[in-house]
Structure 1
Amino acid sequence: MILKKYLIIGFLLSITVAGWAQSQISYNGSPTYTLVERTDLLRYDNNKYVGLMSREVRSFITPVSQNNGYLYEGNFFVNEKTQRNTSAVASGIHDSILSVFRIGKDGVLTMVEDHGYPSFRSFPSYPGHKIQIGERWQAKAERAVDPLNKGIVTKMPIYVEYTYAGDETLNEEPVYRINAQWATRYGMGSGTSYIDWGGDRELQKAMGTHKASILVSKASGAALVVRDSVDETFVYADGNQIHLKGTINLFTEYPPSVNRDRLLPALRRFAMIDEEEEEKLRAVPEKALAVVVEEKEVPGTDNDIAEERIEIAMADLADTHENLAEAYEEVLEPETKRDLTTAFQPDELPELPKKNAAAITVDQTPAGLRLTIQDLQFEADSAKLLPGEQKRLDNIAAVLKEAGQSQFLIEGHTARVGSTEGEMELSLSRAHAIAEELAKCGIQAGRFICKGSGGNKPVADNSTAEGRARNRRVEITILE
């Protein structure tokens, strides 16, 4: 297997050596990576011990475009629920928690679609000059918290003091050690005056301390490990005080690339690709085609980035339609100042090739190899599969079993014909239905991440019956 190298964590900064005692800061962007956040905190309610709060949040983060910084889309999921004196619950099929964020060249992270993750934003960060051992600097960051797992995220600004502590090794790899510390300060009074009015209105005050150590690879500049020691208290409107003490650990992980020597023959065996496509997929691109657009707000939409999502889908499709790439760039050129509502008409969407009778196509995306299953037969407005689909699912399961220990993102899509909320719910339910059927074929359920995109990513014209049928699809991406 070929391990991915030289990858940079999505919201951390790289350090390159400039002389034996100094280092220069720059943010280089990042291809696909995973971020793991493990939390182990002792919880005390009103000074009475309640139990150990343990959970693991994993994510698969993919670069989408580059324009005045780097735009990333992340699929986060909670791997372990909060427990009290019990072992973690068994992993099952996960629901994706979507996160879209932009990182500027200065390393500042700006959320575009925020559902609470990543929980640390613009952390760590570095000064814009050469640094040497012992030097200190300060920078502002942000932390998103939900201490009681209520599903209401509160954002708190943090002011971090950093110290370049020295050089050492981690698993025989040379690393920098950076120490960081900050105080938790949230609420009104006692020298603090900050409230997140979009957060948990019941959370009135927070105070405490954090001390973190960060190990940064000298070779790649990746922050390999962040270990944060936490001691803080949250005060709620009903008078309850929740005291948490323990550790939050962040890890950057780079999974191995899929073994194409096993996977591609399986795709050919079930007529999902032909010989020419196999040759193309063997030459794994460093980055799939990315079309850069100026982010715009579309009047009359309840989701400011819905139309940008259409652009993302178009960019992915451009990989298999190279002759259209130049046209895309012209359509999406920022100086044209075309409104997205007119720039992305259905007749500008490319036709998907019908490669085989099974109506399964395969293409390379930044996140990995994607299998698109067209014209799946469900009961109307239901996630119940009709008889006759099992053969296709058996073939897909046989392919996925050749993907080592990779995880799979299953994304459901609908035609845009009903309510946005209903379409999102139905598309997620259908993704779950496919994951459940594939799990019955012997694939571990915990390897599936399910996501519903409703009708936000059309590949055909919704005004025709044929177009709507093609928009009703399920995509399975082998994450790598």
Structure 2
Amino acid sequence: MKLKVILRGLLIMLLLFSVHSVFSQSSETQPAGEAENGRWTVTTRWDYRVRENGRYIGYANRELREVYEKQEEIPAGWIVNGDARLLGTTKKNGMPVAARLEKSESVSFSLGRSGAVTDAGNGFPRLRGFPTFPEEELQVGDYWEAPLDILIFGPRGDRAVLTQTASYMYIGIQPYMGRDARYFEVQWAIRYRGSNPEIDSFLNQVEGSHKVSLVVDAQTGSPIMARDNLKENWHWADSRIETREGFALIFWDGVPPLDSNGIKEKFKNRFGDKVVIESDFDELKNLNDNSEDIVITDTPRGLSVTLKNLHFQPDLALLLSEDKPLLDELAGLLKEIPDRTILVRGHTADVGRPEDEKNLSEERSKAIADELSLRGIDPRRLIYEGVGSEEPQASNDSESGRKQNRRVELLILED
């Protein structure tokens, strides 16, 4: 049977109109309600052992969050913009912890009506063409193959795309968390042995295998999750051989709109006159150093909650005990905003030591994330980063200006 492969699962999460089911050409389905705003996420969580030249190095617990949104419809499909966020260690002693934001970058590509990703270059998405289904109605035991493009990363930040082939088998319908789901077994090998100068500059060869269990919503055809059991050997150009063995979990989901007005109202109800709500981000720079503890403003990335009057010991990440009741109240409110990621951003004044400022701001943002976690906020919702003195709100020429620049910001992200 000649198969015309189409990436239907992802499209069903995106389309704003009816499409044919990936499993039957005769039935129609509506997109999942959470994705009707054209936003979706792909979250990959790695958990694997690492050996270098045969010596055990440790476990890698990392996470990649890809957040996408359709921006413009074009004849061939859509222009898609978004963000990709690479997080550091997400576990400690086997338990989830707030993760450091290692890298964040903007993403833009074209998504065809057939599901094909173009104009992405060496940027995200990480997996292009996964999952892919045939257009014909599937029967248990059906087998097919489809191309898969994989974005790979070198040890110095180099990137390239490898084209491989994935094989699929349809297993059948089984329950998954209270709903019917279709299960698939997917396999692909990752292979490269030289011949591309762009890749040869950082990678001599790679070989490995991926065995994947894929779960797809039986009603909508949207992918839900996949478990990727992986084993890879990377032969880097610097003569190191890195072995990775473990698994990755991949989750797809639609993103409902952020209820910014509702969140602002919650803050007003809980904190009263201590809250200032600004509609224009630039107006924050005009605020005087007054008695307000919390300033809330809309930003392109989400809702920014600036904590102006948190006090740390000088040059340390130790929060003074007098400010901990504020975090008690803040944690109580954040529990009323479930399922949203919170990026804790530390800011410092510019005192002429940019590296120290960056490190201190990161330590303080981590301290606040840890305090919120201790107060019952799921650490998997928490990310932290240190901005240093790179985003001042006032002049650093005066003590009052420097005081305004020393602050902690909670960014309640759109995703």
> Counterpart amino acid of 2:164?
Y
CA 1:472–1:75 in 2, change beyond 3 Å: closer, same or farther?
Answer: farther
Residue aligning to 1:21: 25
Task: Please give the root-mean-square deviation of Cα atoms over the aligned residues, in Å.
Answer: 5.3
> Counterpart amino acid of 1:139?
P
**Is the aligned partner of 1:349 residue 2:282?**
yes
Give how far 1:69 is off: 2.0
Aligned ranges 1:76-225 → 2 under 5 Å:
76-80=87-91, 88-100=93-105, 101-106=107-112, 108=117, 120-124=126-130, 133=138, 136=144, 138-144=146-152, 155=160, 157-161=162-166, 163=168, 165=170, 168=173, 170-171=175-176, 173=179, 180-188=186-194, 193=196, 196=199, 201=202, 204-217=204-217, 222-225=222-225
Q: 1:358 aligns with which of 277, 292, 306?
A: 292
CA 1:475–1:407 in 2, change beyond 3 Å: closer, same or farther?
Answer: same
> Counterpart amino acid of 1:184?
I
Give how far 1:410 is off: 0.9
Are the equivalent residues in 2 in contact too, given 1:163–1:179 (CA < 8 A)?
A: yes
> Counterpart amino acid of 2:39?
P
CA 1:469–1:103 in 2, change beyond 3 Å: closer, same or farther?
Answer: farther
Q: Using the alignment, how far apart are the partners of 2:329 and 2:53 within structure 1?
A: 52
Map Cα deviations across residues 330-368 of structure 1 (whole Å, 9 max, x no partner).
xxxxxxxxxxxxxxxxxx933478698333023566776
CA 1:123–1:138 in 2, change beyond 3 Å: closer, same or farther?
Answer: closer
Q: Using the alignment, how far apart are the partners of 2:399 and 2:145 within structure 1?
A: 60
CA 1:434–1:211 in 2, change beyond 3 Å: closer, same or farther?
Answer: closer
**Is the aligned partner of 1:473 residue 2:374?**
no
Give how far 1:464 is off: 7.5
Q: Using the alignment, how far apart are the partners of 1:381 and 1:42 within structure 2?
A: 36
Give how far 1:239 is off: 7.3
CA 1:132–1:415 in 2, change beyond 3 Å: closer, same or farther?
Answer: farther
> Counterpart amino acid of 1:429?
E
Higher deviation after alignment, 404-413 or 440-449: 440-449
Give 1 or 2: higher strand fraction.
2
The answer for unaligned runs of 5 or more in structure 2 is: 1-8, 13-18, 73-78
Q: Indicate the percent of aligned positions where both proteins have the same amino acid.
A: 23
Q: 1:70 aligns with which of 76, 81, 86?
A: 81
> Counterpart amino acid of 1:228?
D
CA 1:40–1:465 in 2, change beyond 3 Å: closer, same or farther?
Answer: closer
> Counterpart amino acid of 2:149?
A
Q: Using the alignment, how far apart are the partners of 1:452 and 1:111 within structure 2?
A: 29
Residue aligning to 2:252: 252
CA 1:445–1:410 in 2, change beyond 3 Å: closer, same or farther?
Answer: same
SS at match of 1:14: helix
SS at match of 2:365: helix
The answer for unaligned runs of 5 or more in structure 1 is: 1-11, 82-87, 278-316, 322-347
CA 1:170–1:396 in 2, change beyond 3 Å: closer, same or farther?
Answer: same
The total of aligned residue pairs comes to 377
